[in-house]
A and B are shown apart, each in its own frame.
Chain A
Amino acid sequence: QLQLVQSGAEVRKPGASVRVSCKASGYTFTSYYMHWVRQVSGQGLEWMGIINPSAGSTSYAQKFQGRVTMTRDTSTSTVFLDLSSLRSEDTAVYYCARDSYSSEYTWDYWGQGTLVTVSS
């Protein structure tokens, strides 16, 4: 069945970088855009950006420009989120989410989430 499986929890110090992976299975990886959405503990949801797994093209939320990079590996059907210059406010659960067939920027399948903790 369709699954998005993310990498495990990470702990980083302020100023460091982190990579989160999201492995897709059960569908044609290159046929659906993938997004990253984060959720600060107990708070709302925030869109970070989108990657086209076929072309590798990306678009990022202005808030994260310069600190975020999204890439993909088509051989393993995996997308990656790299976030640099981490600060305490980046402590959050990070989700990958697949674009729906029916509507753009609508997410019908989500990864299980990856907790990134930034603490000195």
Chain B
Amino acid sequence: DIQMTQSPSSLSASVGDRVTITCRASHPITRNLNWYQQKPGRAPKLLIYAASSLQSGVPSRFSGSGSGTDFTLTISSLQPEDFAIYYCQQNYNNPPTFGQGTKVEIK
């Protein structure tokens, strides 16, 4: 199975900050990488697919980049509703696997 490693595991930031989360795959996955946001007690929500494509309805302050083994999710200006856990997920091969998550907390 492909292992996905996110960093950091958690971070503290203020409203308006630029936030970057990284995700590394144990094997190259071209651009087969998705990002999800999860809030407490809720199902994950798709933000970015195919490494950099913004899911319909997701604010443009979210962006993704990368290919091969290294990927990033960037929030250009953190908003109060963005405090959540973020997961990367590879859909390059079976089984699809997730990173362990990055918790974004209020500073």
Contact = CB atoms under 8 A, between A and B. Distances in A.
A110 B49 contact: no
Contact of B43 (A44, A59, A95): A95
A70 to B, nearest CB: 14
Contacts of B43: 95, 97, 110-113
Question: Range of interface residues on chain A?
Answer: 20 to 34
Contacts of B100: 44
Interface string B35-65: 0100000011110011001010000000000
A45 B50 contact: no
Interface in A41-74: 44-47, 59, 61-62
B96 A100 contact: no
Interface stretch (B18-26, B74-82, B86-94): B86-94
Interface of A: 44-47, 59, 61-62, 95, 97, 100, 102-108, 110-113
Given A44-B101, A100-B46, A103-B50, 6 more contacts: A44-B98, A47-B95, A47-B97, A105-B96, A106-B89, A113-B43
